[in-house]
Structure 1
Amino acid sequence: MTYRADYLPTEPTRSAVEAMPGRVLLEFGAPWCGHCQGAQAAIRDVIARMPGLTHLKVEDGKGRPLGRAFGVRLWPTLVLLEQGQERARAVRPVTANALHDALAVASPPDH
């Protein structure tokens, strides 16, 4: 999957996300968040470097259970899952290289 520009219309459940096969990148944020908007170029670049990745852009906020289930406190927060297990996390990434380094810990180069 490629970079997803829009937030999902409906928030998935944690069990649905954990049941997804392969690598899933959850991006928690809000459309009006300046930090989220500023990180989009870095996120887009890193997603292009990680083939086979499923990108889910989840709008977070009060009353949103998925973000609470993952302990999200700042936006954007990116959580990399592999086979339903959290492998890496990046909070408020600024550059593509910093984000890639944070997420690459979980992903061998041959992925």
Structure 2
Amino acid sequence: MATHAISTAEFEKTITDNEIVFVDFWATWCGPCRSFGPVFEEASEKNPDVFFAKVDIDANQELAQAAGVQAVPTLMVAKQGQIIFQQAGALPAEALDDLIGQAKALDMTQAADAADNADAE
């Protein structure tokens, strides 16, 4: 599966309708974004069970602002409709592959229980 350009209108549906979503917030004028693009694209080809979305922050400024994007590229990961990771900066292929593996392995029920226990303390 290749990457998908999404807009503000499609963002919420994309996050809720897919098990795991990786979102690359990028801009055409951003050098690191242009370097990260092929890495992100290659990861999308190797992981057809994950939805890979690209959001152009210039065309979707309100979404970038709502997502708290302050630098590009910013990578956001959602699983079962919940944001589980967000970080600015381009990742090397190995780090992206590792992050994909961690997202796939994350047990959301166990993570929610751990968060509830942490809140109770």
Map 1:68-79 to 2 at 5 A.
Answer: 68-79=65-76
CA contact (8 A) 1:88 1:105 kept: no
15, 22, 25: which one pairs with 1:25? 22
Identity level (%): 25
Cα deviation 1:63-94 (Å, max 9, x = unaligned): 71211222111111111111211122342224
SS of 1:45 mapped into structure 2: helix
TM-score, scaled to structure 1: 0.75
Map 1:1-111 to 2 at 5 A.
Answer: 1-4=1-4, 7-8=5-6, 10-12=7-9, 14-61=11-58, 64-108=61-105
Give the Cα separation in 1 of the matches to 2:82 and 2:40. Answer: 21
AA partner of residue 47 (structure 1): S
Over aligned residue pairs, what C-alpha RMSD do you find?
A: 2.5
Specify every segment of 5 or more residues in structure 2 that has no aligned partner in the other structure, as ranges.
Answer: 107-121
AA partner of residue 13 (structure 2): A
Give the Cα separation in 2 of the matches to 1:71 and 1:17. Answer: 18
Specify every segment of 5 or more residues in structure 1 that has no aligned partner in the other structure, as ranges.
Answer: none
Q: How many residue pairs end up in the alignment? A: 106
AA partner of residue 20 (structure 1): D
Give the Cα separation in 1 of the matches to 2:85 and 2:97. Answer: 11
CA contact (8 A) 2:8 2:60 kept: no
TM-score, scaled to structure 2: 0.70
Larger radius of gyration: 2
User: Which structure features the higher share of helix residues?
Assistant: 2
AA partner of residue 46 (structure 1): A
